Structure 1
């Protein structure tokens, strides 16, 4: 397309990126209209440099008469019967091989009249549209279709109905963004005297200005007497000669579509910056909200139950190693608290109890708060998409949490060196007591055979040595067990805290994967969408 604005390809690329980003996320009609603009742009750019100008107007506005006057022959038959124009008519200025027929095929305009090439109007395709106020629905639909496709729109008004609200509200006011590709013609001015014509034009100019069409030219013509036709032909010749009408129409369409899509972007704050929320932990979710979410998910996943079981299991094992060896067998009477939870295999379900009503309510509240924080600064349509994205089923989330807990290592269970030493010392003390006990039994046997004087009995501070060995070994073992118990408890608590950190890290990973990452992706897509819309609209 010759003379194409260099910004048009960039704007089309940006609009296409916005549509692709919104695809499958935003269920809004503006995306469909933007897609239609892109399709139109692709087709129009492939159909050459011809300038398509359409005459549109109401029944009785003299539109067809004006079309014939510009065409130089009676191509479209005017008449009293309404509606007069049922299908679009076309007059083409140019050579048969100029591509105008392909363009009219795309426009689906079957009735065509070709004029000899004329330097000033070479490349003009002039259409006479059906009446926009026709009683036939198909006529009105055809007008709406072609109004969206042509390069330049000439709206023909008459002195009686130039202020008709149906025209201004349905067609002219919505074209405020297309003021550069619109002409307004007040036809039949020959029916007015000079003062009335000036007053009518002034009133119509005021209406157009208030509707955002201050840049739209307003011409007074009379198709019957030829008044103003030269000016109208000159305006059309200027636009045809510039070879920019199609580009300007596409630019206006892209800007208009981008302006519609911009309704789904955050409003600009003072200084022109857009509100996107705070770039903190968890994407756009504040760190404290992420912590609350992790806590709630951990409670629902049974992390407190696991950490308590780790502490009890570690305490049970440590107490057994540092306690009196004779009683160690009694541990088998009490099952290991961790053993019944079936941890250590992320492929299998654990035996942790299901989350209760309180835990589920807390989890739902935390998820909602995280979602609301992530939605800060987003437009309503993107808030809805983020809400849909964050709606993870309770069963799916519960399974993910259970796998995270079941597959997380709880820390090293290696026996500390001091517990090994304490256990060895307990065996030594038990052996000492056993030696003393056997010695006493031996003395009892010798006394039975009256041989107790044969073997001397060592004494320490007047106390028999065997008795000291028995009592000392037992008391020392008990004292060692009592002294070791606080250290066993300290290690149990430390290991429980380490397990809690590991489990919470795994739970946070689930929160990131199942909730926070999808939310962040929606925000990233929203930012990409709005950046593309801004590029297309500016």
Structure 2
């Protein structure tokens, strides 16, 4: 038989709790906060961890929508404890069969004292109509301080029954109860079965628990206080030091009015359901917080993002490609703007460099660097993503840190493929030669033509043409001017080549930044944001 799962208290788990605020948040707001925590966590955490929270948010929300005027009180106890007799005594009616005359123990019996709305509430709890009794129209002889208007009293199946269905019914209805009344008898009030299975695990709910020592008339009058004191001692040892304990004789009526007054007090306060739900919220939120953590985390910083981008850029060979662009651009700039005659003596492109007539694409530049067409190195890219995930998970408990890393791992192959594709298709703008280079090239050709013209003029003067010193000036200026112009403009030409490489690097870095943002940063920031929403929700729900 499955043991009931009851949330542990902070004291049991050793969890460090925060100070309780002066005004506890409204139960409805705490329910919303717990639902927020569940919604934020369900895509990342084990469903079993969140199941208790999902159950209580669903049940609690429904409970608040139903009759808020009723307080559900459940009577639980062992066979022979007089639980059914106490049920009849509280109702002032012979409703529940006692002993062998009870018609059934498979289903709980319910008695509701107005106002309207209890039927809907009992149907929601799954109690058949034939097991419901209303006292709304019956004559109530109770005094004002013992009137139970607004009470829904449940007589649960015996906890020590040999029928499994009885245990299941009892455990099913316990979570619906606003106040739990455990009925013990003098012979078995220290029975380990009920203490170990129900009372001790419910220590977190002491404020909504009442323990009744029934059949107190069987104890000599002078020993009753000792028996009650002994029961309180046992309860204190089990973590319920402040629970209300009442001695009752359902058969004689002793203590019944005291119990009624205690129930009436809770009903009039109209806090039983909210106290029960609030206590359950605290216990469940604390248990989940202990498992998944509520520590404040730094999250993802700009330095972390830059580290990821640098790592992916390195994996994609961006620095090598940029170096290749700079090298090719410098050689092309010099070759384009130098003296045309000097170009005849310039060596052809060196081995391993991109040829002058080849388009300067990322693919060709990678090939020139020996990187190959599929240039992104998977191992390096995946390591960059893993390192980033580790930084994003700093401060998180293991379940959330695992969720961050799992999200990153799922994106690794996608990052490599997308980065490779987009870098290969990036327009670096290197197929467009700067206009300034063309202007310098045109001036070089003009100077060369002027020099050739001056030399021709000098030759013609050697064959009898009249001497003219302008020919010498033209020949010298034309032949030497190109060299001088190349030397003077070389720094500007090289600066232009560097700018081309810098612009190309910006393009490549933008591609890397976009891929990193879309495929890694945004998904992981989503997990971190969910963690923070879950953390906020748990802290509010815990109260």
- TM-score normalised by structure 2 residue count: 0.78
Q: Which residue is equivalent to 1:270?
A: none
Instruction: Spell out, residue by residue over 1:242-272, the C-alpha distance to the aligned partner (whole angstroms, 9 max, x if none).
Output: 33322332333333333334335645xxxxx
Is the contact between residue 107 and residue 149 of structure 1 (CA under 8 Å) also seen in structure 2? yes
Q: CA deviation at 1:453?
A: 5.9
Residue 10, structure 1, aligned to residue 67, structure 2: no
Q: Which residue is equivalent to 1:89?
A: 109
Instruction: Spell out, residue by residue over 1:60-108, the C-alpha distance to the aligned partner (whole angstroms, 9 max, x if none).
Output: 333223223333444333336999722211233348xx33222222222
Measured at CA, do residues 65 and 82 of structure 1 come closer, stay the same or move farther in structure 2, by a change above 3 Å? Answer: closer
Moved more, 228-237 or 69-78: 69-78
C-alpha distance in 1 between matches for 2:103 and 2:213: 20
Residue 43, structure 1, aligned to residue 43, structure 2: no
Is the contact between residue 289 and residue 366 of structure 1 (CA under 8 Å) also seen in structure 2? no
Is the contact between residue 189 and residue 222 of structure 1 (CA under 8 Å) also seen in structure 2? yes
* Structure 1 gaps, min length 5: 268-273, 278-283, 345-350, 444-451
Measured at CA, do residues 393 and 258 of structure 1 come closer, stay the same or move farther in structure 2, by a change above 3 Å? Answer: closer
Moved more, 165-174 or 321-330: 321-330
Is the contact between residue 335 and residue 343 of structure 2 (CA under 8 Å) also seen in structure 1? yes
Q: CA deviation at 1:32?
A: 2.8
Measured at CA, do residues 383 and 365 of structure 1 come closer, stay the same or move farther in structure 2, by a change above 3 Å? Answer: same
* Larger Cα-atom Rg: 1
5 Å-filtered alignment, 1:281-360, equals 284-325=299-340, 334-336=355-357, 338-341=359-362, 353-355=373-375, 359-360=377-378
Question: RMSD across aligned C-alpha pairs, in angstroms?
Answer: 3.8
State which of 482, 497, 505 in structure 2 corresponds to 1:500.
505
State which of 150, 153, 175 in structure 1 corresponds to 2:202.
175
State which of 374, 379, 384 in structure 1 corresponds to 2:392.
374
Residue 525, structure 1, aligned to residue 525, structure 2: no
State which of 172, 184, 196 in structure 2 corresponds to 1:145.
172
Instruction: Spell out, residue by residue over 1:161-213, the C-alpha distance to the aligned partner (whole angstroms, 9 max, x if none).
Output: 43444433432233333222211112233444456644443333233334443
State which of 516, 521, 535 in structure 1 corresponds to 2:540.
535
Residue 188, structure 1, aligned to residue 215, structure 2: yes
Q: CA deviation at 1:153?
A: 1.2
C-alpha distance in 2 between matches for 1:489 and 1:177: 77
Residue 402, structure 1, aligned to residue 402, structure 2: no
* Structure 2 gaps, min length 5: 1-23, 366-370
C-alpha distance in 2 between matches for 1:62 and 1:487: 104
Residue 208, structure 1, aligned to residue 227, structure 2: no
Measured at CA, do residues 343 and 136 of structure 1 come closer, stay the same or move farther in structure 2, by a change above 3 Å? Answer: farther
Q: CA deviation at 1:33?
A: 2.4
Measured at CA, do residues 502 and 170 of structure 1 come closer, stay the same or move farther in structure 2, by a change above 3 Å? Answer: farther
Is the contact between residue 83 and residue 134 of structure 1 (CA under 8 Å) also seen in structure 2? no
C-alpha distance in 2 between matches for 1:428 and 1:390: 61
Is the contact between residue 185 and residue 218 of structure 1 (CA under 8 Å) also seen in structure 2? yes
5 Å-filtered alignment, 1:124-273, equals 124-193=151-220, 197-263=224-290, 266-267=293-294
Q: CA deviation at 1:129?
A: 0.6
Instruction: Spell out, residue by residue over 1:427-467, the C-alpha distance to the aligned partner (whole angstroms, 9 max, x if none).
Output: 13422443366568768xxxxxxxx764467789xxxx78x
C-alpha distance in 2 between matches for 1:500 and 1:169: 70
C-alpha distance in 2 between matches for 1:454 and 1:233: 142
Measured at CA, do residues 343 and 354 of structure 1 come closer, stay the same or move farther in structure 2, by a change above 3 Å? Answer: closer
C-alpha distance in 2 between matches for 1:117 and 1:222: 23
C-alpha distance in 1 between matches for 2:214 and 2:490: 105
SS of 2:176 mapped into structure 1: coil
Q: CA deviation at 1:397?
A: 0.8
5 Å-filtered alignment, 1:463-474, equals none
Q: CA deviation at 1:491?
A: 3.5
Measured at CA, do residues 505 and 481 of structure 1 come closer, stay the same or move farther in structure 2, by a change above 3 Å? Answer: same
C-alpha distance in 2 between matches for 1:58 and 1:343: 85
Q: CA deviation at 1:219?
A: 1.2
Instruction: Spell out, residue by residue over 1:486-526, the C-alpha distance to the aligned partner (whole angstroms, 9 max, x if none).
Output: 65444333432343244224322322222222222222222
Residue 427, structure 1, aligned to residue 442, structure 2: no
C-alpha distance in 2 between matches for 1:117 and 1:17: 47
Moved more, 515-524 or 223-232: 223-232
How many aligned residue pairs are there?
A: 498
Is the contact between residue 453 and residue 474 of structure 2 (CA under 8 Å) also seen in structure 1? yes
Is the contact between residue 266 and residue 377 of structure 1 (CA under 8 Å) also seen in structure 2? no
